[in-house]
Structure 1
Amino acid sequence: MAHGHKSDEKIVYVGDSRVIKKTQEQRLIPRDYSAYPGKSEAFIPNFLLKEWMVGVVVLVGMLVLVMSDPAPLGYPADPKNTAFIPMPDWYFLFMYQLLKYPYTSGDYVVLGAVVVPGLLFGGLLLAPFLDTGKERRFYRRPIASSLMILSLIACTYLTYTSWSHYQVELKEKNIIPEHIKREEEMHANKGGAAGEGAKKETKKAAAIVAADDPGAAIYAKATCLACHGAQLKGMPASGVPALLGVGDGHTKDDIMGIIKNGKGNMPAMYKPNIDKGLTDADIDKLAEWLSKQKTQ
């Protein structure tokens, strides 16, 4: 035992406090199993550390993609917009398409929404317990490999079919997806602001022309009121144009043609107005009044 700080003081050890050098078998670090045929490395920490490293790389890649290309945003949700076509994220498109078929929807919706997905995902969860063979080559595991290939083909086909059907619906109904329309509007607004420069002029909002005209009273009774509103402002976010200034680009005959034949998402409204109690003369006055709605 030593006391003080003298360099020449004799030191006497009581017991042995030195750390014992452990042998290869006694070390905490797992041995390398790669030299043993048929064996693999230790799960903790070797294999788990590799999995974590791969997970970190994938996570960083996803973060880079998210920051470089922000998620597209549409307009605020509007429950009155009947022209909107709801679409799930791409990884649910196959389930979305599955629920469109008659044998998985309607009276059989439980089959399509619960039973079929339950069997698919339940089988995937139970696969390690059902297929306990040691063979790793896929062609030596025909049942498991066949089921997996069949599932991949089914998911791919349903996803492709769902997206193709969505594109056809957009084309038939002449609809531009909201996130694309909003992005185009943002670019248009930026371009307009750049062209104006520092001087910004506020455009005067159009007002209703001839508010005391008999056509105005007919408009209040017509079906137009439900979508275009009492102030003729429409619902631009839902694809319903404003009628303020409609006379700038449409004559009375043009408006009458739209009432009788429809245009874009708007169906023909002549018969619904007749059924509502309006006469041919009323609709004629309505078209004439709408043609007077000009901004100049």
Structure 2
Amino acid sequence: MHRGKGMKFVGDSRVSAERKPNIPKDYSEYPGKTEAFWPNFLLKEWLIGSIFLIGYLCLTVAHPSPLERIADPTDTSYIPLPDWYFLFLYQLLKYEYASGPYTVIGAMIIPGLAFGALLLAPWLDKGPERRPSKRPIATGLMLLALAATIFLTWESVVNHDWEAAAKQGEIVEEVEINKEDPGYKVLEANGCLSCHGTELTGGPAAPALTKTGETLSPEEIAEIAVNGRGAMPGGLFKGTDEELKQLSEFIHGLSAQ
């Protein structure tokens, strides 16, 4: 049954007899509420991006990145520190049940559960409400995660030895070291390199040895090697008197270069 122009009655509803493509209305019908994607929207996005890029470049030129000495993989005394956005995870790995034999828990299981819950959030909380007060479970979990991240980050910053970190990364004048010298071999045999470094530039646990000879005589160096001084305990040197002499003369000779 047909009634009216181009209309068909289907039950109590009227359906257009002619199918029309879904053409969006002209933008002029919505002044101030929408705009063309090209070029209006993209042009504004590019302008804002350019401003931020220029700002970052200016900061980079005004405040260059702090450089440290060349990394020494044999320096076991080096204190690592990740970027600020990983500090919470770095602190988590310091706790008993997230480090040592339980490293897998701290490094994989706990972060995996946290990020997995974040990915599953659209399926875990499917309610239509948008107010945080009406979504207590989702809001509570998010506040708990935020509080844990802030706390762990703060603990990592407070407990880090910043003075030792600055000292261990300090760029020092390079001294050519003859690693075939008998004195260097004595240092290596007695475990001195684990604290002073293979290049004898020191670290947070021990000072550099490259300038020791400017202030200490070979006899004084030998005395420290046997009896220790400061944080260095005595009794670490296990060599003979001849080896002790080779060690002290070698360290004293480094300052003459």
Length-normalised TM-score, structure 2:
0.62
What's the secondary structure of 1:236's corresponding residue? coil
Report SS of the residue matched to 1:272. coil
- Whole-Å separation in 1 of the counterparts to 2:186 and 2:77: 21
**2:79 equivalent to 1:85:** yes
Alignment of 1:235-250 (within 5 A): 235-236=200-201, 241-243=208-210, 246=213, 248-250=214-216
Amino acid at match of 2:27: I
CA deviation after TM superposition for structure 1 residue 96, in Å: 1.1
**Alignment coverage as a number of residue pairs:** 220
Q: Distance in 1 between matches of 2:210 and 2:120?
A: 60
- Distance change in 2, residues 1:43/1:257 (3 Å): farther
TM-aligned CA distance change 1:255 to 1:107, over 3 Å: closer
Shift of 1:156: 0.7
Matched, 1:95 2:89: yes
Report the equivalent of 1:29.
Answer: 27
User: What residue is the counterpart of 1:70 in the other structure?
Assistant: 64
Deviation, structure 1 residue 58? 5.1
2:144 match: secondary structure? helix
Q: Structure 1 CA distance, aligned partners of 2:115 and 2:124?
A: 14
* Matching of residues 160-199 of structure 1 within 5 Å: 160-167=154-161, 174=164, 176-179=166-169, 181-182=170-171
Distance 1:177 1:141 in 2: 49
| Cα contact 2:177–2:199 (8 A) shared by 1 | no
Matched, 1:155 2:149: yes
Quote how far apart the aligned CAs of 1:145 are.
1.4
Secondary structure in 1 matching 2:158: helix
| Amino acid in the other structure paired with 2:67 | L
Match of 2:187 in 1: 223
Change (3 A) 1:101 1:242: closer
Change (3 A) 1:244 1:111: closer
1:135 aligned partner, one-letter code: E
What SS is found at the alignment partner of 2:143? helix
Q: Does 1:131 align with 2:97?
A: no
- State the Cα distance separating 1:148 from its structure 2 match: 1.1
Quick one: percent identity of the two aligned structures? Answer: 31
Give the match's secondary structure for 1:139: helix
Q: Residues 54 and 32 of structure 1: is their aligned pair in 2 closer, same or farther, counting only changes over 3 Å?
A: farther
> 2:25, 2:145 → 1: CA distance?
46
| Counterparts of 2:118 and 2:147, CA distance in 1 | 15
CA contact (8 A) 2:88 2:150 kept: yes
Structure 2 counterpart of 1:271 = 235
1:261 aligns with 2:228: yes
Letter in 1 for 2:102: Y
- How far apart are residue 79 of structure 1 and its match? 1.1
Instruction: Kindly provide the amino acid, as one letter, of the partner of residue 215 in structure 2.
Output: G
For residues 207 and 123 of structure 1, the distance between their equivalents in structure 2, rounded to whole angstroms, comes to: 54
Structure 2 unaligned regions, length at least 5:
1-22
1:89 CA displacement? 0.8
Closer/same/farther in 2, CA of residues 235 and 132 from structure 1, 3 Å limit: same
Which segments of 5 or more consecutive residues in structure 1 lack a partner in the other structure? 1-24, 35-40, 187-204, 209-215
Q: CA deviation at 1:85?
A: 1.0
Q: Is the Cα contact below 8 Å between 2:184 and 2:250 reproduced in 1?
A: no
The residue identity in structure 2 corresponding to 1:155 is T
